[in-house]
Structure formats: C-alpha cells, structure tokens
Amino acid sequence: MTHDFDQIPRDEPTVVQEYIPDPLLMNNLKSDMRVYVLVLSCDPMKIFIHKEGLVRFATQEYQPIDVNSNKKDMSNMFVHLTNYSLNKDNTEFKAPTSIMDDTAHKRTITSVLATLKS
C-alpha cells in the first residue's frame, strides 16, 4: 500500500485499486465475499448464482489509515487484506470447525447471513 504514485512501478503490469477508508466491518474485521456465478450465455442472458459462497476475514482488527499514517500502520497486511493465502500464516488465524462456525476467519455465506440476521 502506498500514498505515493511514484512508488507504483510503471514498467511492469500492476494492479491498482483505491483503498476504501470506511469499510463495512464485522467484529471489527475487514472481509470480502466470494459469490460463485455461472454464465451460460449472454444473448439471451442466462446466469446461475450458487446458493453458497465464501466470506474471508482479515485476522487483525481494522485500524483506519489516511495520508498521515505511518509506514508501519500501512504495512500490517493482516489488518488490511483478507487473502486466505496471507492470513492462514498469522498466528491469530482461526480455521473453521464447521460449516456454521461464526468465529473463523474463513466462513460460509450462510454462516455470515445467520450472524447478521441474529
């Protein structure tokens, strides 16, 4: 993460996205949802959405950053990223023990929706 456009390499393929400063949090953790979709055709449009999906959580509580944040705050990826490949190596990572586990850092959409409903 960076505030400085000069730190972004211009001579190689790069993915750039804007940081959302006020994300929706669950239990003070950032998350993302994976919804699985099958597109059978575009004309006519035929799309199927699977009834189950995946929600991945960061493993440390969210701390907002801004242009005045120090480099240490920005470099703690366990706070700002939800990637399983990164967070599974954090000592605080909690693997799910069941499909309805509502405390794990990787959950089913069904589990998260049940938590939100309650």
Distance CA 57, CA 93 (A): 9
Mean pLDDT of 57-61: 95
Sign of the alpha-carbon torsion through 63, 30, 77, 4: negative
Q: Which pLDDT belongs to residue 6?
A: 84
pTM: 0.79
The residue segments making up the domain with residue 55 are: 5-117
Does pLDDT of 50 surpass 90? yes
Does pLDDT of 64 surpass 90? no
pLDDT one-digit tens code per residue, 70-117: 666 677 889 888 999 999 999 999 999 999 999 999 999 999 999 999
3-state secondary structure of 55: strand
- Please report the DSSP string for 21-39 in residue order: SS---BTTB-EEEEEEEEE
Distance CA 51, CA 35 (A): 9
User: What's the number of domains the chain is made of?
Assistant: 1
Q: Which pLDDT belongs to residue 114?
A: 92
